[in-house]
Structure 1
Amino acid sequence: MKKVLLDLEKQFGPLEEAIFLKRKNRFVGECLLNGKKITCHIADTGRLKEILTAGREILVSPNPPFLKTDSKLIAVRMEEGFILLNTSIHSKIAEAAIKLGILGFIPDTIEKEVKTGKSRIDFLVNGNHYIEVKGCNLKVGNLCMFPDAPTVRGKRHLEELIKLKQKGFKTSILVLVLRDAEIFAPNDKTDPEFAATFYRALESGVEFKSFKVKIEDRKVLLNGSVKLLQAL
């Protein structure tokens, strides 16, 4: 039985297929819907150079008229089908996956957006297990990588996990893989500092966890996991 993590149309309302034209800036794209040019809000601020290219089919959700853009960008069609491209729901998807046991157990309690140090960590499970989620949509061959743009915030989250581990908490970096890949690695070419901190976190005892998702019938489904590429 397929495990559904999120129903996109229950979350965003009816979705419509459009054609992506161009990215006007980090947050706004232009697309063609039913022969008319409209704007779409892009929640993912990564570079997305391999993904948001002119002519790709996308799924959009119409916005109410009081918002600045006409629609929200939800997903884009790649070789493996539509892939999720809306970071606003990563936390909901990860929470659903955690509740289904992707950590290896069914949790009793889940706290969200827990403040620690100078950051907020995505989840605190069972009062003693801190989990930070990172969504990954950059794919090269069979390898998925994060980030696709330098992330000071992401590095800081890893540093917080290291400190929490040193204090005796259980800690995990949970990678949400949005592509049909088999292996994960931190993107050391784009952000060598994040990559170095990632492997330092693993050496300190922070655990690597992952799960893949795919979109079918406007639903986000659990689709296995990926292996970690070990540092050379």
Structure 2
Amino acid sequence: MLQVLRLGDVVCCNIIRRTTRFTVEVEVGGSLATAYTNNTGRLLGYLTRGRVGYCLRARGGRHPLRLVAVEDGEYAALIDTRLQEEAFAEAVRQGWLPWLAECSISKRNPRVGNSVLDLMLDCRGRAAFVELKSAVMRLEGGFAAYPDAPTKRGRQQIEHLAGLARQGTRSIVVFIAGIPNARGFKFYCEVDKEICRSVRKAIEAGVEFRSINLFMDVKSNAIVLGDADLRVDLSCCMQ
């Protein structure tokens, strides 16, 4: 494992329940508090009563805490999408992703048509567009999966990447497998049947589908890179 980002002062909490798409009720030191979460996925099995969560203190905003990870064995699943992006960007900068070894980040949140993607890279003078997807759904066998809820936005972004790929632009969907020591990534087709059409179009257009494993080491309060090139299984979309 490679240490990617140190998190500094982490607040441990006990999760009580999810209250809205963006808030979770937690208990810290015997008192109840509201923690913000930027991950709008269902996070099945993680935001359940009694699980240990790991928060950062918020800088401003309505809620004092930001829930970034949830216990999963001896480590913690990284659920915070902003930290997933920061860790991915740092891995690119350090050259730890062999399939992006000659790339650097040139722009964040580039607008493509009516979609905003996560990153534009410069790969030896050639532009590449990257969309990150949070995969914090655990399947049998230790596989991380996406999506865990219907996602119209995800479909649109994949289709925009397909349009770029048809024009000869390198386009990549990266699934951030946030569960500790993931064995691989599998696309999950049960909750959003329509997204598979978008995935098939993207494959035909030449979009790359990649996955990396990022999770939290609770002993060092750091985000670590477990695998820089996880096996990606899109077979459920090809049936």
Same fold by TM (over 0.5)? Answer: yes
Alignment check: 8 A CA contact 2:159 2:201 kept = no
Report whether the alignment pairs 1:140 with 2:139.
yes
Q: SS in structure 2 opposite 1:128?
A: strand
Find the counterpart in structure 2 of residue 222 from structure 1: 225
Q: Give the deviation of 1:15 after TM superposition.
A: 1.0
Per-residue CA deviation, residues 109-142 of structure 1 (Å, 9 max, x unaligned), is 5321111111112122114211111111001113
Q: Tell me the C-alpha RMSD between the 2 structures.
A: 1.8
Counterpart selection for 2:89 from 85, 88, 95: 95
Q: Give the deviation of 1:104 after TM superposition.
A: 4.0
Q: Give the deviation of 1:80 after TM superposition.
A: 5.0
Structure 1 counterpart of 2:43, one-letter code = L
Alignment check: 8 A CA contact 2:34 2:63 kept = yes
Alignment check: 8 A CA contact 1:98 1:106 kept = no
Instruction: Give matches, 1:39-58, under 5 Å.
Output: 39-58=34-53
Write the distance in 2 (CA, Å) between the matches of 1:88 and 1:124.
16
The percentage of counterpart residues that share the same residue type is: 23
Alignment check: 8 A CA contact 2:84 2:214 kept = no
In the superposition, the TM-score normalised over structure 2's length comes to 0.88
Distance verdict in 2 for CA 1:106–1:81, change over 3 Å: same
Q: How many residues align?
A: 226
Write the distance in 1 (CA, Å) between the matches of 2:61 and 2:169.
42
Q: SS in structure 1 opposite 2:210?
A: strand
In the superposition, the TM-score normalised over structure 1's length comes to 0.90
Report whether the alignment pairs 1:35 with 2:30.
yes
Structure 2 counterpart of 1:147, one-letter code = P
Report whether the alignment pairs 1:86 with 2:80.
yes
Distance verdict in 2 for CA 1:149–1:80, change over 3 Å: farther
Q: SS in structure 2 opposite 1:197?
A: helix
Report whether the alignment pairs 1:105 with 2:101.
yes
